[in-house]
Amino acid sequence: MRNFFGGSEGSGGKKGSTSRVPRHSSGWKELQKHLSADDSLRVLDIGPTSSTNINYITSLGHIIYMANLVEEALKPEWISSAGEGEEPHYDVERFLETNLNFSGRKFDVVLLWDTADFLPATLVEPLFSRLYDVMEPGGRMLAFFHAAADPIAPFCRYHLTDNETVDMQQAGSYPVIQIYSNRKIEALLNAFSAFRFFLAKDSLREVIITR
């Protein structure tokens, strides 16, 4: 999938290609139905900010919130200093309270994209627990996961469209930290009421998750 993108990457994951690559998404096609069924939904878009997404979601009469977790999660400030004889550890609770505290707001739709694959492994299970807590019952989440056949993949900004595709735009050079098997994904989603996998022709697996 890396060959789809032109341009150069900046150091530290700050820069990427300006080109966009359309990708058919059965999961997005399914989620559009949920967005069209009601008015004034709260949408949480987790990924690099996309003005396209903001304009599209608000044009449907919904409210959108943004959270770019990958760039934030890889900062060294979340690694707590160890005491004598102790190993450093990732401060999961402080990270979640800082970056996923919405002051009691609940969301009807979450666009997680492939965020989980780029996060420190210790943060992933607590992330899904927090997302469960901040979603309305019956709310939907769209998540992508990279397949084992593609352990190295570009970090992308995903742009919504009004058809069955999402536009992918390389957004940096962050590494895929972990590949999740279907069994592991199912374990991460154990608290949710339902989830559905969608087959794809490329190296991304798509899941629609119902709170």
The string of pLDDT tens digits covering residues 63-102 is 999 999 999 999 999 998 766 667 788 999 999 999 999 9
Please state which CATH number belongs to domain 2-76+87-210. 3.40.50.150
Neighbouring C-alpha atoms within 13 Å toward the C-beta of 171: 18
Predicted TM-score (pTM) of this structure: 0.89
Alpha helices in 38-162 (DSSP H): 51-59, 69-73, 92-99, 115-118, 121-134
Q: How far apart are CA 64 and CA 55, in angstroms?
A: 9
Model confidence over 4-58: pLDDT tens digits?
Answer: 333 333 334 555 567 999 999 999 999 999 998 888 999 999 999 999 999 999 9
